[in-house]
Structure 1
Amino acid sequence: MRATDEAALRRVARRRARQDVQRRERVDVRYSVDEKQAILAEARRHNLAGAHLVGAIVMAHLDSDLALPAERAATDDLIDEYAALRTELARIGTNANQIAHRLNAGGDAHPADAAVLAEAHRLVATVRQAVTAVDTAADVAATNRRAV
């Protein structure tokens, strides 16, 4: 699965909000055994029920927020790539913070610790700037997409 597909699915699946009243209407759909297993596996990866995942995707498509593969625009891919990039940057920042925490925790310092700590702090600052730039670019892309 491409990063854009992963990000689009996560964005859509998490958006469907609870309602004040229980949903009672049903739509029955038939899947092959393989299709059902794939749906349930994907839902488990996102900690969702299979019905929630399918419902979120269908409603997002009906709300023109999730295009079918043939209807996706370049902007959709761009927004999803930004989301995937932001996730990767956040992981880098988390790792740098863990290094800094370890070095700041005390104990016997090694001669190289000060240099590593300074580099970890520089990396965290750089990642924060990159995340801010990615967020700004994603917001611009999403705003331009809605304007189309």
Structure 2
Amino acid sequence: MRAADEAALHRVARRRARQEFQRKERVDVRYSVDEKTEILAEAGRLGLAGAHLVGAIVMGHLNGDLALPEQRTTTDDLIDELAALRTQVARIGTNVNQIAHRLNSGGNPHPVDSAVLAEAGRVLAMVKQAVTAIDATADVAATQQRAA
């Protein structure tokens, strides 16, 4: 699965908010055993119920947030790739933070610890700038897409 596809699915599935009243209406859908297995596996990976995942995808499509594969634009792909990139860059920041925390936790410092800490601070600043730039770019792309 491409990063853009996974990001789009995750974005739409997580966006579906609970409603104040219980949903009582049903739409029955039939799947093959393999299709059902895939749906439940993906829902489990995302921490969702299978019905929630299917409902979120359908409602996302109806609300214009999720296009069918043949309806996707390059802007949709760009936004979702940026979301996936942001996640990866943020993970780098988390890892650097963990390294800095370990070095600052006391004990017997090594001679290179101060240099590593300084570099960690520089990398964290770069990660923050990258995340901010990614967010701004995704926002511009989404705004232009809505205007179109």
- Number of positions where the alignment pairs a residue of Structure 1 with one of Structure 2: 148
The 5-angstrom pairing of residues 6-17 of structure 1 reads 6-17=6-17
Q: Report the equivalent of 2:65.
A: 65
| Aligned mates of 1:73, 1:104 — CA distance in 2 | 47
| Aligned mates of 1:136, 1:78 — CA distance in 2 | 13
The 5-angstrom pairing of residues 78-117 of structure 1 reads 78-117=78-117
Using the size of structure 1 for normalisation, the TM-score is: 0.99
| Aligned mates of 2:3, 2:119 — CA distance in 1 | 29
Instruction: Tell me the CA shift for residue 106 of structure 1.
Output: 1.1
Q: Report the equivalent of 2:75.
A: 75
1:13 counterpart letter in structure 2: A
Q: Report the equivalent of 2:19.
A: 19
2:58 counterpart letter in structure 1: V
1:134 counterpart letter in structure 2: I
Deviations 1:65-114 (A, max 9, x none): 10000000000000000000000001000000000001111110000111
| Aligned mates of 2:76, 2:51 — CA distance in 1 | 24
Deviation beyond 6 Å, 4+ runs, structure 1 = none
Instruction: Tell me the CA shift for residue 64 of structure 1.
Output: 1.1
Alignment root-mean-square deviation, CA = 0.4
Structure 1: give runs of 5+ residues left out of the alignment.
none
| Aligned mates of 2:90, 2:116 — CA distance in 1 | 19
Using the size of structure 2 for normalisation, the TM-score is: 0.99
1:89 counterpart letter in structure 2: V
Deviations 1:20-57 (A, max 9, x none): 10000000000000000000000000000000000000
1:90 counterpart letter in structure 2: A
1:8 counterpart letter in structure 2: A
* Identity percentage of aligned residues: 75
